[in-house]
């Protein structure tokens, strides 16, 4: 297989794919990520992943393009990347002691063929003390992450339980990507 084209600048997604021994080229996309009127989280991540894959696939046909988009949902509200430390604090405070959804839309393109799948993982935070929340927020780790935390970093200590795919919470469900690629005739593992 030639290089994998990752339609994302996310170092976490790149690291996940590189961990499979793949040669990954990242291609950032600049698409409008606004939520459409009446659009739920699943539809949003599916649409955004497909849009990213289309942009990169149009530039480079013949290579496998992988795109993804991840959101955190609590009580039906999408918690995107926090704008600042104050919003990050609010997100972590709301998530503390509760279960939320993490949805990642995956879009794979190979020439004119495509595979799209949305993966859902349930994540439960443990009860958190105010000083733990403050310490996490001050670390700055959650500022560029959906929901304001990184499960692959210090944020792992916030999580009490996970039901579903761990790598999905990082930002890319490796099992979903491997199975989708196989349906396109590409073996990744």
Does residue 176 fall inside a structural domain? yes
Does residue 18 fall inside a structural domain? yes
**Whole-number Å distance between alpha carbons of 32 and 48:** 8
How high is the pLDDT of residue 179? 98
Does residue 32 fall inside a structural domain? yes
**Residue 112 sits in which domain range?**
4-183
pLDDT tens-digit readout, 85-134: 999 999 999 999 999 999 999 999 998 899 999 999 999 999 999 999 99
Distance, CA of 109 to chain centre: 18
Domain count, the chain: 1
**Whole-number Å distance between alpha carbons of 1 and 153:** 31
How high is the pLDDT of residue 62? 80
Does residue 139 fall inside a structural domain? yes
Cβ atoms within 10 Å, residue 85: 15
Residue 13 in 3-state DSSP?
helix
Does residue 68 fall inside a structural domain? yes
How high is the pLDDT of residue 2? 61
Choosing from 69, 75, 101, 144, the catalytic residue is: 69
Does residue 55 fall inside a structural domain? yes
Does residue 188 fall inside a structural domain? no
| Catalytic residue flag (residue 69) | yes
The reported pTM is 0.94
Q: What is the largest CA-CA distance in the chain?
A: 52
- What CATH number corresponds to the domain at position 175? 3.90.950.10
How high is the pLDDT of residue 119? 98
Residues in the chain, pLDDT under 70 = 1-2
In this structure, the dihedral spanned by the alpha carbons of residues 52, 55, 59 and 65, taken in order and rounded to 10 degrees, is 30
């Amino acid at each position: 297989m030639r290089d994998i084209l990752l339609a994302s600048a996310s170092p976490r997604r790149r690291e996940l794919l590189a961990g499979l021994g793949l040669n990954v080229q990242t291609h950032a996309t600049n698409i409008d990520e606004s939520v459409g009127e009446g659009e739920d989280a699943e539809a949003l991540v599916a649409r955004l992943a497909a849009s990213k894959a289309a942009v990169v696939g149009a530039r480079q046909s013949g290579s496998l393009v992988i795109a993804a988009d991840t959101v955190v949902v609590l009580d039906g509200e999408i918690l995107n990347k926090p704008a600042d430390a104050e919003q990050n604090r609010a997100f972590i405070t709301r998530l503390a002691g509760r279960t939320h959804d993490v949805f990642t839309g995956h879009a794979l393109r190979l020439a004119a063929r495509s595979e799209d799948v949305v993966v859902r993982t349930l994540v439960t935070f443990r009860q958190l003390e105010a000083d733990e929340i403050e310490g996490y927020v001050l670390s700055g780790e959650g500022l560029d992450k959906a929901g304001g935390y990184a499960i692959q970093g210090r944020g792992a200590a916030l999580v009490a339980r996970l039901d579903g795919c761990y790598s999905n919470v990082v930002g890319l469900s490796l099992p979903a990507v491997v199975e989708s690629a196989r349906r396109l005739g590409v073996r990744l593992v």
